[in-house]
Chain A
Amino acid sequence: MSTVKVITGNHAASFGARDSRAEVIAAYPITPQTQIVELLSEFCADGTLKAKFIKVESEHSAMAACIGASAAGVRAYTATSAHGLALMHEMLHWAANGRHPVVMANVNRAMGPPWSIWTDQNDSLAQRDTGWLQFYCESNQEVYDTTMIAFKACEQVLLPGMLVLDAFILSHTYEPVEMPDQELIDEFLPPFDPPYKMDLDDARAFGALTTPEWYMELRYLIQEAHEKALVTVREVEKEFGETFGRYYGTLELYRCDDAEEVILIAGSTASTAKDAVDIMRKGGRKIGLARIKLFRPFPNEEIRDIASRVNKMIVIDRNVSFGNQGIFFNEIKASLYSAKNRPPVYGFVAGLGGRDMKIDDITGIVEQADTCDIEEILWWGVKL
């Protein structure tokens, strides 16, 4: 029997890790992630989850301990946010380059200074090139579901995965979350059994100095694994949907069938934007929405496909690459360069540091895109 609990996004992450049967958890507290690890420590303490919880002194050590556990052949999990993720940076490379399928929840929070605890995407997007799979979630249910989807996909391609949820908007907001029967989950997500691990009977050296003669091949294999991951994630999502009745997709399309223009967005703001789409549709605009669920590997083909069917694309970035533009905006344009049909693409930077993103903001952005130049770098709602 599945159960439904009304829980926060953070607790959805904890339950996701519990039901994925994480075996080693190593974590350090940071607002707004703390409830994830608080609940997990309860699960470990009362035996609900048979896992070792290593209460480390930093996020850097959290990732290092997860890597050690993964190398020893067990399923490892952690959770962090913003500065914690930034501190992990070195070990994010280590996890991916060492081919350790660690799964982590990152609560999207703005980077300081000045101190901010509210949401934006610069923390996770700054880790774009570390080799991690990145999943951007829209709801608490999706946070829960994506935890097991991520473990399953990551363990198949031997790459780590980060699921991302917005600070407060998801992390501290209660929503009903359906949790399936554990037996069904166990069937969907069997125990982790990596091909190589620290083993006395099969002694190997992991990560030994590698000369230019072989280093590049090892990196090529990671690229290949990412390409495979795009297929794997879709297969795993499909299997998840068939088993549990919920489908997400790598690029979720909302009211795009007859759309002439499309908003591209990631994270929980997509929910607000979907409402804005409904309102604009009532007003006669043939508009749709494409939600970027999977950012790494990037669903290039799906982006090109939707681009070929619309006259205009509007990208809303809750992030910025200083000195250039919004990061999703850049990625999408790069994706379209080789496409035959390239509609104009407008990029808006909005909602940084938790600035509220309401329906009016979305409709306002869409209206402004009617009149502006695609060369412009558009910051929405800046009071300067």
Chain B
Amino acid sequence: MSEKKKMRATIPEEEYMFPGTVDCQGCGAAYAMRLALKALGPKTMVVIPACCWSIIAGPFPTSALKMPIYHTAFETAAAVASGVKAGLSIREKEATVLAWAGDGGTFDIGVQSLSAAAERNEDFIYVCYDNEAYMNTGIQRSSATPWGAWTTTTPRKHPKDRPKKNMMEIMAAHRIPYAASATVGHPEDFVRKLKKAREIRGTRFFHVLATCPTGWRSPPELMLEVPRLAVETCVFPLYEIDNGVYSISKKPKEKLPVTEYLKVQGRFRHLTDQQIQYIQEHVDETWELLLKKEKLGRLF
């Protein structure tokens, strides 16, 4: 084989997560952590509030990770991470502090402490692995649940009737140095962004779409495929906001209709054609707005 044809792995081979975790089959959240730690490397400390990862990380006396973990209360990831980083800086210890929370702990109960930490520009990476509902407690709706989705608290007769909260925009409004969206279906993109973020100081926010076959009623073997469809349909665009500059990481060559994404998930099974049309229109508008923002250059 000639030198030219040699493939270079973009994802580090080192593993910082032990096998045998107790996640569901096809869990995007578990894969997201595995990728994140590969990208951030061994000098990382993890703060985990109540979420699926409180379980996945393993019960006492086991641990799924090779790095220190602090398990904390639901709404406190950003506040505890602020304290950990302050303590480490007093001790003059170098480490990337990674706050790792679900959508409930980020969009809902943890939004206050996260907003405050972002306003203070605390020096940590905050990853929200978004599975779009309270999955650990049994699929209850959160403010990250998309319009029209079934959950155990938004039954099919009255599915979610409000759009998903736009967390990226909320974080950008704090004028933090870096925010990025990612999915578990795009590992290279996620790893690249994390490596970039690792070198930036201040609050860095990641919004990661993490497949949840259990809650989305999608086949576990489609763990990678479902978020790829989310990107190809522009339901979940991949982009960065780097010091106020928007850049879209992946523009679909041919934007797929949202049905391609919706139809592989049982949580959208009840939707009528009219409702799907409404989703399509909303997705189109949001995508157009993002394209415009990208053209505007530095926004803050």
Contacts and interface: CB of A to CB of B under 8 A. Distances in A.
Interface of A: 23-24, 26, 50-52, 54-58, 60-62, 64-74, 76, 90-91, 94, 198-200, 202-211, 214
A26 B75 CA distance: 16
A54 B84 contact: no
A344 B113 CA distance: 50
A198 B45 contact: yes
Given A71-B70, A200-B95, A208-B60, 17 more contacts: A51-B90, A52-B86, A57-B115, A58-B113, A60-B76, A61-B113, A70-B83, A71-B84, A72-B88, A72-B90, A72-B91, A76-B83, A202-B68, A203-B65, A203-B66, A205-B69, A210-B59
A58 B79 CA distance: 10
Given A54-B82, A209-B59, A91 B71 contact: no
Nearest to A211: B59
Contacts of A90: 73
Contact of B55 (A23, A91, A94, A209): A209
A124 B286 CA distance: 50
28 contacts: A26-B79, A26-B86, A50-B90, A51-B90, A57-B112, A61-B76, A61-B113, A64-B83, A65-B83, A67-B83, A68-B72, A68-B80, A69-B90, A70-B83, A72-B90, A72-B91, A74-B91, A198-B45, A200-B42, A203-B65, A205-B58, A205-B62, A205-B71, A207-B70, A208-B58, A208-B59, A209-B54, A211-B59
Contacts of A210: 59-60
A56 B116 contact: yes
B70 to A, nearest CB: 5
Contacts of B90: 23-24, 50-52, 69, 72, 74
A74 B82 CA distance: 13
B80 A64 contact: yes
Chain B, interface SS category: mixed
A64 B86 CA distance: 12
Contacts of A73: 87, 91
Contacts of A209: 54-55, 57-60, 71
B65 A205 contact: yes
B83 A72 contact: yes
Nearest to B84: A68
Contact of A205 (B57, B78, B79, B91): B57
A56 B112 CA distance: 10
B82 A68 contact: yes
A60 B113 CA distance: 9
Given A67-B80, A205-B58, A208-B59, A23 B87 contact: yes
Contacts of A207: 70-72
Chain A, interface SS category: mixed
A375 B76 CA distance: 46
A74 B87 contact: yes
A60 B72 CA distance: 12
Contact of B83 (A50, A57, A71, A202): A71
Contacts of B91: 72-74
A342 to B, nearest CB: 42
Which residue among A64, A66, A94 has the maximum number of chain B CB atoms within 10 Å of its CB? Answer: A64
A208 B58 CA distance: 7
A57 B116 contact: yes
A68 B42 contact: no
B81 interface: yes
A111 B29 CA distance: 42
B115 A67 contact: no
Contacts of A60: 75-76, 79, 113
B30 to A, nearest CB: 15
A223 to B, nearest CB: 19
Contacts of B72: 64, 67-68, 94, 207
B47 interface: yes
B251 interface: no
B47 to A, nearest CB: 7
A69 to B, nearest CB: 4
A54 to B, nearest CB: 5
Nearest to B49: A64
B120 interface: yes
B153 interface: no
Given A65-B82, A207-B72, A209-B54, A55 B59 contact: no
Contacts of A67: 72, 76, 80, 83
Contacts of A200: 42-43, 45, 67-68, 93, 95
A68 B70 CA distance: 8
B152 interface: no
Interface string B122-140: 0000000000000000000
B87 A72 contact: yes
B63 interface: yes
Contacts of B82: 26, 54, 56, 61, 65, 68
Contact of A203 (B67, B73, B85): B67
A199 B94 CA distance: 10
A210 to B, nearest CB: 4
B249 interface: no
B58 A198 contact: no
Contacts of A94: 72-73
A57 B43 contact: no
A57 B69 CA distance: 24
A198 B75 contact: no
Nearest to A198: B68
A203 B86 contact: no
A198 B55 CA distance: 20
Contacts of A58: 112-113, 116
Contacts of B79: 26, 56, 60-62, 64-65, 68
Interface string B145-174: 000000000000000000000000000000
A48 to B, nearest CB: 16
Contacts of A64: 72-73, 76, 79-80, 83, 113
B87 A69 contact: yes
A56 B79 CA distance: 8
